[in-house]
Structure formats: C-alpha cells, structure tokens
C-alpha cells in the first residue's frame, strides 16, 4: 500500500510544479498603448488649436513615438522580463508630453519667425532623434549590465570619472563651455553635451559602493562628539572629499541647481545606509552654511535670491522670466487654456528650464498635478524595487536613482512657481535637451535592472537523487496506522 502512495505523490509534483511569478509584460504593453493614445490625442489638439488643420507632421511624430516605444518594450521583455511593468510606461508618457509641448512651442516660434522674416529650425525633430538615441543607449545598458551587483567592482573608477566629468567644463575656456552664464557644457563641432548629467549616475554608483563597504564603520566606529558617535576620519574622508569636490566645482561653474541635487542625493544615500537621523541634521547644517557663503561670494546667487524675493522689482530685466512664468501659471488657472491655445512662447527658455510653466498654462493646475503624479508614481515604484531587492548595494543605488528624479522635479517646479530660488536645471524627460534625456534613460535602465532582480523568483535547488527503498520505507512509516491497544499492529 505504501509504494503506490509514493508513486502517486511523486507524479503529482511532476505534473503540478509550483507556479512561476507573472512577468506582467502584457500589462506594460497595454499601458504603453494607452500612453501612445494620450500623446497622439494631445498632438491632434495642438495642431487643431494652433493651426486649425492637421498636418503631416503629426503622423511622423506619432509613428516615431510608437516605434521607439515598441523597441523599448521588446528589449525589456527579453533582457529584464521581471522588471516593474509601470516604470517604462510612466517614462514614455512623460517623454511624449515633453515632445507635445516642444512641438507646440515650435509652432509659436515659427509663427514669430515668419512675421520677422527669419529662418526657423524646429526643436522637436532634434528631440525625437535624441529620444531614439537615448532608447538605443537604454537597450545597451540593459544588455551590458545583466546584474547590477557587478557595478560594485567599478565604484572608485566611476567616482574618479564622475568628478573629472564635472570638472571638465570648468577647465575649458568660456567659448567651449559656457551657455547663459553657466559653465556646464562641452561644445563640440557638431553637438553639445553636459557631462554633469552623466556624472550624477557615476557618482551615485561610487557612493553606493563606498557606503556598502564602509557601512559598519559609519555606524559604530569613531569618537563621540556631543553624544554622537562619528566615523573615523580616514573612513569618512573619501566621501567628504568627493562630496565637497562636486559641490565646489558646481558652485564655480555657476550651476547651483545641480549642486543642490548632488548634495541632497549624497545625504539621502548616507541616511539610508546608516539609518541615523544625525546625518540629516549635520547635512542640513552644512547646507545652510554653504548657502550663506555662496550668497556672500557670488553675485549671480544674490541676483537669483533677489528675483525669488521680488521678481517684479525688475520685471523688464532680470525678473522678466519669472514674471512671465507667474503670469502664465495664473492665466492657466485650474483647467488651463487648452493645448495650443496659450502663449507659453512668451516665457524665455520655455522648452527647457520653464517647460513646467508652459504645461501649467495650457493644462492648468489639474494637468500639471497629473504630470507631477507621474513622477511620484515613477519614484515610488523605483523605491519599492530598491526596498525589495536582496543586496544592500542595490537598495542604496536604487533608492538614490529614484530619489534623484523626485529631487530634480522638486527643484524645477519649485523654481518655476517661486517656492525656491530658480536653479536652471531641466525637468527629466520633459525638457528639450539631449544630455538630460540620455542620462535619464540610463537611470531608468538601471532602475529596471534592479527591479528585475527584486521581482525575479529565486532559483530552485536541483532535486537530489535518493535510493527508492529508503523513500518507500519513510512513506510507509508515515502512512501506517497507529498501533492498537495491547501493542499489536492493526
């Protein structure tokens, strides 16, 4: 009786193995199709309201957008099948909304150029090309980085390259590095690039790798000061040198927005690694001291603070951009003027630094809040993946990457709405510019890789071959009835 029971139990496990976790790639595909529908509808509204007709450009833009999304989805399906299905659709929709707004501003700028008898080259064509290149780089990162933990081997190398990339524009003459007062560019014969956009990812890899190797020393080693146990200087030195070098370079390059971004990311990663609130307190204290020093040393910082306090004091001069941004947001109100029915072209740099002001004017508070919700969902899903991944390096890197997007959009929208001084950095995936788009798609590829590692089921141990007789005997013992009274077997 025992052997047939063993055979039946073995057959059941062979025919009904444990179910695999769903990859949810079809969900991702449906969300991407919905994002494509929203973007195409928005393009139709822009064309109808701005030119009162539908041109062939909408077909070209729509097909290009659908093509690159399909390629990205197939790449994720093949090389990161267990990645979070919400990350890529959120990015695709943000990128699509950015293309719509850049196209809408192009139409207004082209009309002005025709009236003034000047030639005009649309920016949206370049942005579509940058999107294609960015997604190609996105696929390359997914293929090359098949395990995010391998990046720990190149932590110090990434840190050195990142600092060099930040310092490079400061070492070059102004003719090769300065645009609108900020020395953050590398001007090449055929295109320009911002090395700092890529440096932020390299430095996050360095900080995550360094904190993983020195985490215990940051928590327990060192002397006490005012009741707080500090790490040893020789262990704390490298991260402080790297942090102050980054911030110092960015201050001298007059790019205070990026310096705030880097400092915040370093502080958050340090807090996540140690779970000690003292680092937040010390970081905020250093930040306050740095703000006072920067205000007293640099005239451009004083000017931005003055524009923040009262932009109407020089409404036709240095405060013109902020004043026009506030007027645009006020004109949009709750529901907006409608796509193609506003005047976002009156705001200088509307397609780059102030693209959120253009969105707020034409889509209103509701539309801008919806865009911010997309960023919030993107960051929350990234944080969720960082918490779920099994290794400490993945937690720190994923948390830093997700927080970077939150902090960047906070700095951008805070500057546009006069909540904080205007900083000059761009909104991820929305603003015009190739460097930001390329770097942020690399960031998303790394997040997807970490998400894939977090959701991927653990490998099953191989079954060991055991002799049949002991198994039968063991199961025979399990299926025997308890002995009857008097010690006799039933």
Reduced to 3 states (helix: H, G, I; strand: E, B; else coil), residue 467 is coil
How sure is the predictor about 480, in pLDDT bands with cuts at 50, 70 and 90? very low
Q: Which of 237-241, 301-305, 365-369, 465-469 has the lowest mean pLDDT?
A: 465-469
Q: Angle at Cα 107 formed by Cα 437 and Cα 50, nearest 5°?
A: 120
- Pick the closest to residue 398 from 151, 213, 194 (CA basis): 151
Q: State residue 239's pLDDT score.
A: 67
Q: At what angle do helices 434-455 and 355-388 cross, to 10 degrees?
A: 30
Q: Which helix (H) or strand (E) holds 99?
A: helix 87-116
Assign 10 a pLDDT band (cuts: 50, 70, 90): very low
pLDDT for 67: 80
Q: Which two tokens stand for residue 405?
A: 């997007």
Write out pLDDT tens, residues 210-235.
Answer: 888 877 766 655 667 666 666 666 66
Strand 186-187 to 228-229 pairing: unpaired
Which two tokens mark 71? 């390629």
User: How far from the centroid of its chain's Cα atoms is residue 18's Cα?
Assistant: 35
Q: What is the mean pLDDT of residues 138-163?
A: 93
What are φ and ψ of residue 397, in 5° steps?
-65, -45
Six-digit token string for 374:
């997309």
> Hey, what are 150's tokens?
């391998």
Residue 218: the pLDDT is 67
pLDDT of 487 > 50? The answer is: no
Rounded to the nearest 10°, the torsion over CA 125, 129, 131, 134 is -160
The answer to whether 320 and 348 are in contact (CB under 8 A) is: yes
Residue position matching structure tokens 């009156």: 346
Task: Look at 7-21, 165-179, 302-316, 416-430 and tell me which has the smallest mean pLDDT.
Answer: 7-21
Average pLDDT, the chain: 82
Higher-scoring residue by pLDDT: 470, 24: 24
Task: Parse the chain into domains and list their residue ranges.
Answer: 23-454
Arithmetic mean of pLDDT, 123-140 = 92
In this prediction the pTM is: 0.86
Which tens digits make up the pLDDT trace of 75-104? 999 999 999 999 999 999 999 999 999 989
Give phi and psi for 161, each to the nearest 5: -65, -40
Task: Kindly state the tokens that stand for 310.
Answer: 């009262």
DSSP 3-state assignment of 153? helix
Q: Above 70 in pLDDT, residue 5?
A: no
Categorize the per-residue pLDDT at 116 as very low, low, confident or very high, splitting at 50, 70 and 90.
confident
The three-state secondary structure class of 192 is: strand
pLDDT at 293: 79
At residue 361, the 3 state secondary structure works out as helix
pLDDT of 15 higher than 50: no
Residue range 161-218, pLDDT digits in tens: 998 988 888 788 877 777 766 777 888 777 788 888 999 999 999 989 988 887 776 6
Question: In terms of residues, how long is the chain?
Answer: 490
**Which of the two residues, 117 and 197, has the higher pLDDT score?**
197
- For residue 137, is pLDDT > 70? yes
* Phi, then psi, of 179 in degrees rounded to 5: -140, 125
**Whole-number pLDDT of residue 186:** 85
Confidence at residue 263, expressed as pLDDT on a 0 to 100 scale: 81
Contact 131, 123 (CB under 8 A): no
Are 69 and 11 within 8 A, CB to CB? no
Per-residue DSSP letters for 202-247? HHHHHHHHHHHHHHHHHHH-S-EETTEEPPPHHHHHHHHHHHHHHH
| pLDDT at residue 107 is higher than 80 | yes
Is the pLDDT score of 387 beyond 80?
A: yes
Q: How many CB atoms lie within 10 A of CB 454?
A: 21
Residue pointed to by tokens 């609108």:
180
Q: List beta partners, residue 228.
A: 225
């Amino acid at each position: 009786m025992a052997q047939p029971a063993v055979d039946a139990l073995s057959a059941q496990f062979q025919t009904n193995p444990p179910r695999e976790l769903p990859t949810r790639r079809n969900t991702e595909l449906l969300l991407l199709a919905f994002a494509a529908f929203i973007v195409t509808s928005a393009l139709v509204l822009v064309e109808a309201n701005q030119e009162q007709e539908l041109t062939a450009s909408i077909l070209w833009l729509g097909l290009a957008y659908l093509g690159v999304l399909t390629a990205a989805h197939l790449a994720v399906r093949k090389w990161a099948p267990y990645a979070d299905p919400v990350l890529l659709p959120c990015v695709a929709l943000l990128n699509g909304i950015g293309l719509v707004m850049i196209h809408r501003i192009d139409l207004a700028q082209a009309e002005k150029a025709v009236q003034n008898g000047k030639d005009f080259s649309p920016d949206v064509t370049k942005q579509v090309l940058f999107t294609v290149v960015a997604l190609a780089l996105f696929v390359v990162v997914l293929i090359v980085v098949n395990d995010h933990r391998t990046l720990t081997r190149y932590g110090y190398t990434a840190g050195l390259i990142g600092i060099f990339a930040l310092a490079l524009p400061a070492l070059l003459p102004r003719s090769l590095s300065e645009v609108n007062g900020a020395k953050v560019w590398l001007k090449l014969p055929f295109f320009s690039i911002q090395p700092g956009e890529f440096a932020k990812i390299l430095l996050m890899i360095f900080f995550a790798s360094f904190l993983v190797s020195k985490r215990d020393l940051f928590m327990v080693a060192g002397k006490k000061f005012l009741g707080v146990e500090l790490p040893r200087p020789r262990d704390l030195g490298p991260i402080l040198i790297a942090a102050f070098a980054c911030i110092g370079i960015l201050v001298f390059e007059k790019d205070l927005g990026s310096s705030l971004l880097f400092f915040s990311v370093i502080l958050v990663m340090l807090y996540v690694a140690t779970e000690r609130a003292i680092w937040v307190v010390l970081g905020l204290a250093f930040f306050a001291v740095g703000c006072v020093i920067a205000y007293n040393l640099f005239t451009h910082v004083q000017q931005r603070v003055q524009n923040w306090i009262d932009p109407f004091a020089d409404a036709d001069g240095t405060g013109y951009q902020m004043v026009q941004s506030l007027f645009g947001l006020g004109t949009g109100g709750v529901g907006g003027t409608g796509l193609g029915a506003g005047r976002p072209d009156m705001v200088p740099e509307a397609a780059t630094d102030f693209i959120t002001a253009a969105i707020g004017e034409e889509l209103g508070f509701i539309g801008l809040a919806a865009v911010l919700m997309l960023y919030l969902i993107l960051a929350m899903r990234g944080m969720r993946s960082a918490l779920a991944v099994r290794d400490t390096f993945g937690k720190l890197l994923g948390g830093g990457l997700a927080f970077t997007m939150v902090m960047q959009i906070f700095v951008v929208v805070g500057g546009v709405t006069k909540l904080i001084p205007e900083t000059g950095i761009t909104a991820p995936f929305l603003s015009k510019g190739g460097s930001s788009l390329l770097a942020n798609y690399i960031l998303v590829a790394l997040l997807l890789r970490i998400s894939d590692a977090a959701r991927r089921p653990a490998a099953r141990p191989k079954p060991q071959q055991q002799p049949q007789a002991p198994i039968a005997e063991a199961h025979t013992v399990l299926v025997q009835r308890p002995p009857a009274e008097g010690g006799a077997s039933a």
